Amino acid sequence: MNRYYKIYDFELHGQNPQELHTVRTIDVEGQRICLVRLKEGYYAIDDRCPHAGARLGLGKCDEEGRVICPVHRYKYDAKTGRGLPAQGDYVKTYLVETRNDGVYIALEKKWWQIF
Ligand code: FES
């Protein structure tokens, strides 16, 4: 079961609150998440690089929609979370929805949020 959190409010932040092919870190309920904007929309992956723990939100996004880690330059597909084949790793992805009023991210509810 998911709980949705509003990341961007179009009324507050405008219709394009984040530039294309940019990454940033957002904090949702104490969880650091790397938010990416591609031409197809917004995508979110875990902010922690699986290689050695660097913050992916401090990296860059290439033209193919891959987030480049700022430390050792491993690359992760923002849509699927998959690393390059030579890396053989992946990073967790999160569901992001663009609605009429803004952009939302879905996080799994914690057990204490269910009741
Ligand atoms: S910490 Fe990200 S590639 Fe090494």
Domain span including residue 97? 2-114
3-state DSSP assignment of residue 64:
coil
CB distance 34 to 42 below 8 Å: no
Domain count, the chain: 1
- pLDDT tens-digit profile of 27-78? 999 999 999 999 999 999 999 999 999 999 999 999 999 999 999 999 999 9
73 DSSP 8-state letter: -
CATH number at residue 73: 2.102.10.10
Whether 69 is in the pocket of ligand 1, judged by its Cβ within 6 Å, is yes
The answer on pLDDT for 111 being more than 90 is no
3-state DSSP assignment of residue 37:
strand
Å from CA of 55 to ligand 1 middle: 8
The answer on pLDDT for 104 being more than 90 is yes
Å from CA of 73 to ligand 1 middle: 6
CA 22 to chain centre: 11
The answer on pLDDT for 110 being more than 90 is no
CB distance 65 to 79 below 8 Å: yes
- pLDDT tens-digit profile of 1-32? 899 999 999 999 999 999 999 999 999 999 99
pLDDT at 115: 64
pLDDT, average across residues 88-109: 96
How far apart CA 65 and CA 14 sit, in angstroms, is 23
Q: Residue 96: CB partners within 8 Å, gap ≥ 6? A: 7, 35, 41, 42, 43, 44, 103, 104, 105, 106
The answer on pLDDT for 92 being more than 90 is yes
The answer on pLDDT for 113 being more than 80 is no
